[in-house]
Amino acid sequence: MGFPKPDPKLSAFLEKSLDGYEAELRPMFGCPAWFAGDNMFAGVFGSVINLRIPPGEEQDKIMTAYPGAKRFEPWPGRAMKEHFSVPGDQVKAGKKWQGWLKKSYDYAASLPPKKKGRKK
């Protein structure tokens, strides 16, 4: 099963939105993803932008703020519990978008580094 190719305009929009953030660009699922330390907080997957949202009411709020937003499922039935897909056509530059991006970044930056797997 192949993953969707990232929308180049959406990728450029997200990269521009992240100007000034200490974020590292790395591929995830063959798409651009940005990390705060070891933790992914934003990425493009086809025609959606994924954000990492802390557990609790913020997860309900993002689905209200962006109709059509839902848990990110890179494989059907395998949702990533803290990651939400926001339809790219609903995202516009401005305070609302920057607020969600900052919440995602701050949450990922607050998480401990990933534990390295043992060598085989």
Summarize pLDDT for 12-43 with one digit per residue, the tens: 999 999 999 999 999 888 789 999 999 999 99
CATH number assigned to the domain covering 8-110: 3.90.1150.30
| pLDDT of 117 above 80 | no
Q: Please give the model's pTM, rounded to 2 decimal places.
A: 0.87
Residue 98: is it exposed, middle or buried by C-beta count within 10 angstroms (0-12/13-18/19+)? Answer: exposed
